[in-house]
Structure 1
């Protein structure tokens, strides 16, 4: 095993779904309290390789690859990757693992999926850990932009299907450099993600992920402030929000303000959840859970081990 092989790794899983399988990897104690770990947009389960071994090993950690990512099956032809579909995948994994109640840890996009699930199925989620993420993405101009986003999503799917372009095969070094262009991560972290995100072909590698997921409007739902407030009032979980000082302040949207929406989302979480929200700023980047996991491990461990009981609002 290489220098970045995840210590304490128990097993690789393939969970059957109607379009194939959802791949996952597990750490910790199988009979312990379950924690589902959700990776960021275009990443995969390897993004937790460095963090989970630093957390209490009497929990059962399952890091899944979203559909079209990592080692999970691509969706069937003609079936788009909408945000709601990824939330449904969480429910499918929960059923396959026979969990009645569990905690969720999500990074970036994985946190928005975790947040939506926690609002839709509040009685099922004990604790929610958001790594440089918020439960939903608020667009200050949602009413004006909604139709445009939905149109773009449909047009992109049709364009990808029409091209039928085979995946490119390049050297691993080229793949790593290309991967880092759009991500604020170092080379070691890019290599960890691509270990699971590529397949070796001859002397090169090709990306595993489905081309249809590489379009923001397909994978994210952007909602209004009113809907956001209504949704988070459904939350029953205790929430830990870890915000790196050099993280993504928001998802940059055309015609949208850069920070106002983020401050609104965090302020409303504080207002609605009160003592059920633990908000912590930590020095680091968007990929702090990979680059400096020791900065987060103590905070997350204490949160997971805390004995507070969740009550319905």
Structure 2
């Protein structure tokens, strides 16, 4: 599979991010955000099928070819929101749309709710709200996170002697993917080390969150989104398995599409990517 895109590096005031650019320069501006531990290649199948869009598909901080946060930094989800806003600033986009998968969809919702004057449309794939935590569990969660941070120095990333072993591991990872999808993600997500290959991702990405939004916080963000939203629900995905999501969606004026496939249906095969593209092309044509 070959995909035409331009590779760029974006020097933001606080970090340098890598990205793929798709589509005509005068297309509708869209920033595309991948899921946790993935990278910009998550849009390798989908982005070329989206018409009339200028897509900036980011490697989020700590992922792919983007920089890691400085020592002592963390990967709170609202920090990604700030990164995305800085990317829009660099391109001079006062109004733009967001395309988000999984964690990228959650980041998109947070930004659209917090700054509705900046976000034109949301196109979301199998993601909406983060895993939440209530006040009574907060002290224990913080303690768990602090212990994990202390233990991180003594841990090392896995090293795979052959690329095929890394691809096989990614196929079975969070949000299991097809062989070709794993090859695309691993091709960008791996780096050579003595003895083979390991993941480029910052090890801190696997640490537990020290603080989570409450369910009330998460619902407030979703309910504060003012722009049009198109949400793809993967029938064998992860979003519908989250407690209370179905009841939440009943109360929202979102355009919903239930499509066959797993959590990465837009990347697993051409049929899934085309089905998602058909929904989003109609959605963006209304802009």
- When normalised by structure 1's length, the TM-score is 0.84
Correspondence for 1:245: 235
| 1:5 corresponds to which of 2, 8, 21 | 2
Q: 1:186: how far off?
A: 1.1
Correspondence for 1:168: 159
Correspondence for 2:286: 306
Correspondence for 1:205: 197
Q: 1:201: how far off?
A: 4.1
| 2:226 corresponds to which of 215, 218, 236 | 236
| 1:287 corresponds to which of 260, 264, 270 | 264
Correspondence for 1:26: 21
Contact 1:19 1:73 in 2 (8 A): no
Correspondence for 1:80: 74
User: Helix, strand or coil: the match of 2:100?
Assistant: strand
Q: 1:216: how far off?
A: 4.6
Q: 1:207: how far off?
A: 1.1
Correspondence for 1:54: 49
Q: How many residues align?
A: 283
Q: 1:16: how far off?
A: 1.1
Greater Cα shift, 176-185 or 115-124: 176-185
Quick check: 1:42 aligned with 2:37?
yes
* Structure 1 stretches of 4+ moved >4 Å: none
Residues 5-27 of structure 1, C-alpha deviations (whole Å, 9 max, x = no match): 213x2x11111135541110100
Correspondence for 2:114: 120
User: Helix, strand or coil: the match of 1:293?
Assistant: helix
Residues 102-156 of structure 1, C-alpha deviations (whole Å, 9 max, x = no match): 000100011001111111111111100110011x2253x6233333333323332
**What runs of 5+ residues in structure 2 fail to find an aligned partner?**
none
User: Helix, strand or coil: the match of 2:233?
Assistant: strand
Quick check: 1:179 aligned with 2:176?
no
Q: Distance in 2 between matches of 1:233 and 1:27?
A: 31
User: Helix, strand or coil: the match of 2:180?
Assistant: helix
Contact 1:34 1:61 in 2 (8 A): yes
Contact 1:170 1:206 in 2 (8 A): no
Q: 1:164: how far off?
A: 6.6
Q: 1:48: how far off?
A: 0.2
Q: After the TM superposition, which residues 268-287 of structure 1 pair with which residues of structure 2 at under 5 Å, given as runs?
A: 268=251, 270=252, 274=253, 277-287=254-264
RMSD of equivalent CA atoms: 2.1
Q: Distance in 2 between matches of 1:93 and 1:151?
A: 34
Correspondence for 2:58: 64
Residues 28-51 of structure 1, C-alpha deviations (whole Å, 9 max, x = no match): 011221111100000000000000
Q: Distance in 2 between matches of 1:259 and 1:92?
A: 31
Q: 1:260: how far off?
A: 3.1
- When normalised by structure 2's length, the TM-score is 0.91
Contact 2:102 2:125 in 1 (8 A): yes
Residues 37-93 of structure 1, C-alpha deviations (whole Å, 9 max, x = no match): 10000000000000011110x210110011110000011111111111111111111
Q: Distance in 1 between matches of 2:205 and 2:150?
A: 13
Contact 1:19 1:74 in 2 (8 A): no
